[in-house]
């Protein structure tokens, strides 16, 4: 039983880690606490539905469609909403992302209807049995792809020149401008990446459950994950995601299914009171 719970916890946690990573990229680049990240997950699920069921694209093309479309959405959001509000107090920007999530939700519901849509992909459906742990292929694929994306992002961030410029921008805004970095373009890339990572998470969550606006609550678990892991820390986001996944599954199995969210939010409260900068973060406290 324990092994089973641990497995699903780690698998789901990998997806949460991916979404949390996207969140952190956005936060590091533009200092925006993106409450709409949950809706980006939903967006991903619906983009997948569109590509596969409505447009009938073959799976690899559908993935490409998902990545490009979500990156575009992220970039457009940055141009229209985030750039104009740069320099405004953090409260305003938080409200903006909350309002954005409202708008996204209503657009999605108007386009696809408020009920969920099933998402069917050619990913294998069977189960791999190891000892007394049943590992569904879907979970395995979700975890694998999440880790692959994280690795790709890590390599991009570390080894490419755009990644270097993004790291520089996160390090110091004015310093980057002075060095000739097009900071607005870098932030746009960050938003595109953040949205895409969430959308990929939505692809898997949508298939593990169903593509519906309710996925937002699951996507929002990235927020406590990021805080627990440490807000501006990339490894923190990933580990936070894994922790949240494991804790969620443990609570669901050993306490009750309804309690899983609460346990996480209680943990969030504890962390905020005891060690607000999270496990891997640095001590600078929140601004507003």
Partner 1 sequence: MNTNTSLSRGQAWQKWLWRLLAVAVLAYLPVVLTDRAAFGIALSNMQLLNLGLTQVNLMLIAMLGALSLNYLTGSAGLISIGHAAFYATGAMTAAITGSQLGWPFPLVLLSAAVSGALVGVLAGLPSLRVRGLYFVLSTLAVHHVIVYVFLEYQFKFFDVVGIPYAGAKLGGWELNTPIRWYFFLLALVVLVYAGFAASLRTREGRAMQAMRDHELAATSMGVDVRILRLKAFGLSSAVASVAGALFAYLLTNVTSEAFGITFAIQFIAMIIIGGMGSLPGALVGAAIWLLLPSIIGGLAPRSSEAVGLTRLFLVEGRAQFVQLIFGMLVIVLLIFAPRGITGLGRDIRQLLASWRGR
Partner 2 sequence: MSAALEIEGLSVAYARKGLALQDVNLSVPKGGIVALLGANGAGKTTLIRAVTGLLDLHHGAVTAGQIRFGGQSMLGVPAHKRVRLGMGQVPEGRLVFKHLSVEDNLRVGADILPRGQLHEGLEAVYTLFPRLRERRQQAAGWMSGGEQQMLALGRAMIGRPQLLLVDELSLGLAPLIVKDIYKQLRVIGETLGTTMLVVEQNARLALEFAESAFILAGGRIAFSGTSAEIAASPAIQQSYLGGGAAQAAGEEAAQ
Provide the angle, in degrees to the nearest 10, between the axes of the packed helices 161-171 and 183-208. Answer: 100
Of residues 114 and 172, the one with the C-beta less far from partner 2? 172
Tell me how far CA of residue 48 lies from CA of 104, 187, 214, in angstroms. 16, 25, 16
* Beta carbons of 102 and 121 less than 8 angstroms apart: no
Counting contacts by CB under 8 A, is residue 91 touching partner 1?
Answer: yes
Counting contacts by CB under 8 A, is residue 175 touching partner 2?
Answer: yes
Question: Quick one: what does residue 90 bind among partner 1, partner 2, none, with the CB cut-off 5 to 8 Å set by partner type?
Answer: partner 1
Least CB distance to partner 1 at residue 229 (A) = 13
In angstroms, the CA 238 to CA 222 distance is 10
Counting contacts by CB under 8 A, is residue 174 touching partner 2?
Answer: yes
In angstroms, the CA 173 to CA 30 distance is 9
Counting contacts by CB under 8 A, is residue 168 touching partner 2?
Answer: yes
* Beta carbons of 14 and 259 less than 8 angstroms apart: no
* Beta carbons of 183 and 176 less than 8 angstroms apart: yes
Closest CA to 36 of 278, 213, 231, 162: 213
Least CB distance to partner 2 at residue 167 (A) = 6
* Beta carbons of 78 and 86 less than 8 angstroms apart: no
* From candidates 176, 198, 205, 221, binder to partner 2 by CB under 8 A: 176
* From candidates 152, 172, 266, 282, binder to partner 1 by CB under 8 A: 266
Q: Choose one: 142-150, 155-163, 190-198, 253-261; the region binding partner 1 (CB under 8 A).
A: 253-261
Q: Which residues of 170-199 are buried (b: 16+ CB within 10 A; e: fewer)?
A: beebeebeeeebebbebbbbbbbbbbbbbb
* From candidates 181, 193, 199, 251, binder to partner 2 by CB under 8 A: 181
Q: Choose one: 17-25, 63-71, 115-123, 254-262; the region binding partner 1 (CB under 8 A).
A: 254-262
Helices vs strands, H then E, count in the chain: 12, 2
In angstroms, the CA 116 to CA 109 distance is 9
Q: Residue for token digits 């998470």?
A: 201
Counting contacts by CB under 8 A, is residue 155 touching partner 2?
Answer: no
Counting contacts by CB under 8 A, is residue 129 touching partner 2?
Answer: no
* From candidates 120, 160, 179, 256, binder to partner 2 by CB under 8 A: 179
Question: Quick one: what does residue 258 bind among partner 2, partner 1, none, with the CB cut-off 5 to 8 Å set by partner type?
Answer: partner 1
Q: Which residues of the shown chain bind partner 2 in the complex (CB under 8 A)? A: 161, 164-165, 167-168, 171-172, 174-183
Binding positions for partner 1, rule: CB under 8 A: 33, 81, 84-85, 88, 90-92, 94-96, 98-100, 102-103, 105-107, 109-110, 114, 217, 223-224, 227, 258-259, 261-262, 265-266, 268-269, 272-273, 276, 285-288
């Amino acid at each position: 039983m324990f092994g089973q719970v641990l497995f699903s916890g780690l698998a789901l946690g990998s997806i949460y880690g991916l979404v949390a990573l996207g969140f952190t990229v956005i936060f590091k680049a533009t200092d925006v606490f993106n409450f709409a990240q949950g809706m980006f997950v939903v967006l991903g699920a619906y983009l997948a539905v569109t590509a596969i069921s409505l447009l009938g694209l073959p799976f690899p093309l559908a993935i490409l469609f998902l990545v490009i479309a979500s990156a575009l959405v992220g970039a457009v959001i940055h141009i229209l909403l985030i750039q104009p509000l740069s320099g405004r107090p953090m409260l305003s920007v938080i409200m903006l992302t909350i309002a954005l999530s409202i708008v996204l939700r209503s657009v999605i519901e108007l386009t696809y209807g408020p009920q969920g849509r099933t998402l069917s992909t050619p990913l294998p459906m069977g189960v791999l049995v190891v000892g007394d742990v049943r590992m569904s292929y879907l979970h395995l694929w979700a975890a694998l792809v999440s880790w692959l994306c994280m690795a790709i992002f890590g390599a991009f961030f570390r080894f490419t020149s755009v990644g270097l410029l993004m790291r520089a921008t996160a390090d110091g805004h004015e310093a980057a401008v002075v060095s000739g970095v097009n900071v607005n373009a870098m932030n746009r890339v960050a938003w595109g990446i953040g949205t895409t990572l969430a959308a990929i998470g939505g692809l898997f969550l949508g298939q593990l459950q169903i593509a519906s606006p309710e996925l937002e609550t699951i996507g929002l678990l990235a927020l406590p994950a990021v805080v627990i892991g440490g807000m501006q820390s990339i490894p923190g986001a990933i580990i936070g995601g894994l922790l949240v996944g494991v804790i969620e599954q443990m609570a669901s199995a050993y306490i009750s299914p309804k309690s899983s969210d609460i346990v996480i939010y209680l943990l969030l409260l504890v962390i905020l009171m005891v060690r607000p900068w999270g496990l891997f973060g640095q001590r600078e406290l929140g601004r507003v």
